Structure 1
Amino acid sequence: FAVAGTIQQAFFKITHTDSNKNVIADSTLEVAINILENRVESGIDSKDYLSEYDDLIAQVKKKFDDYAATVQDSIDKAQALHDQIVEYTNLINSNGVIKKTEFGDITQLKQPEGKTFIDKLKNELSQRGVNVIWFGAVGDGTTDDSAAIQSAINYVGIQGGGKVIFPPFRKFYVKSTI
C-alpha cells in the first residue's frame, strides 16, 4: 500500500489450484489495516494504488455514458417514428379516407384511366358507382339515412351520371322524400 491511512474493513482472497486441478480459495474475514506514511521510498514518486481503481471506475462510467447515448438515440428515433405515425393517422382521419369495409368489394377494381389519382378515382367511380356510406349513410335500419342518400344522388348528378350503390346486408331507413 502506498497510501497512508486506516482501512476500516479489508478483505483478502487467495486462490490456488491443487493437484486435481480444483481451484481452492482462502480468504480473510474482516481485517483493519493501519497504513503509515511511506518513509522508505525516499526520492521515489510512488503511484497512488487507488488511482487504478479510479481509472477503472472512470472507464466503466464512460461505457455506461456511451451506452446511454446510444440508447437515447434509439429512443429519439422511435419517438420520431411514433410522432410520424400519429401525424399520418390524424391526416388520414381528417381527410375522411375510405375504408375497405365501407367501399365494398374491391376485387373487381381495374386500373382506371387518368393521369392523376383523382382522375383515376373519378373514372372508376363513374364506372362502378358511388357508395351511400361515403356520404354518411349508416344502414342500421334505425338511423335516418335520407340526407346521406340524397347527397350521393346529388353527387352522381353533378358528375354527369353514374350509379348509386347500396352495400348489401344493410337496411337503410329513409324518412324524407328523396
Structure 2
Amino acid sequence: MAISLSKGQKVDLTKSNPGLTKVVVGLGWDTNKYDGGKDFDLDASLFCVNAAGKVNSEADFIFYNNRKNANGSIIHNGDNRTGAGDGDDEQVSVDLANVPAEIEKIAFCITIHEADVRSQNFGQVSNAYVRILNEGSGAELIRYDLGEDFSIETGVVIGELYRHSGEWKFSAIGSGYKDGLGGLARDYGLQTS
C-alpha cells in the first residue's frame, strides 16, 4: 500500500523497499472550469542538483525539450499538452542505481506553459499530485497530493528525490513560485535570459 504524504514529510524509498533500483515518477493534475479561451498546458520538469543545490549544467535540467540526463538514468517520458484523461499526465523514469554520484537531489516541478501570456495560474489547477511507482511491479509506493493552497503561482516544486546515507528518500515540498519556470531555473543555478 502506498504511503500518502503531507507537505513537508519525508520518507525512505530504497531503505523500506530493498532491491528497488528503478522507479517511475508520475505527475498529474486537472484544471478547473476556465473561460479564458486558451488551453492549459502544464509541464513536468526536473532539476538534477549537486550538494550546493544547483545544476552543474543545462544538461541537468530535464524537460520536454531535453528528455534525459547525460547518462540516460533519468528520462522524461513525453509532454502531455492537454492533461486530458485519467492517471498520470506526465511520467519520468529514474534508474536510481545509475544516477551520477554528483547528483544529490532531483527536484520535480510543474509549471504552466506561457502562464503570463494566457493569464493562468495554479489557482485554476486542482488535484495535482506526484507519485512514485516501482517500475518493475507497477506498485504505487509513495503519493503526495498537492492540495489547493495556491492562487497566483505559475510554478511549483512538488517534491524531491534525494540521497541520504547511501539511500534514496523522497520529500513532499509543495513550494510555489510566482515567476514560474524562470524563477525555478534561476534558483537552481541556470542563467535565464
Q: TM-score, normalised by structure 1?
A: 0.20
Bigger proportion of residues as helix: 1
Bigger proportion of residues as strand: 2
Higher Cα Rg: structure 1 or 2?
1
Relative contact order: is structure 1 or structure 2 higher (C-alpha 8 Å, sep ≥ 6)? 2
Q: TM-score, normalised by structure 2?
A: 0.19
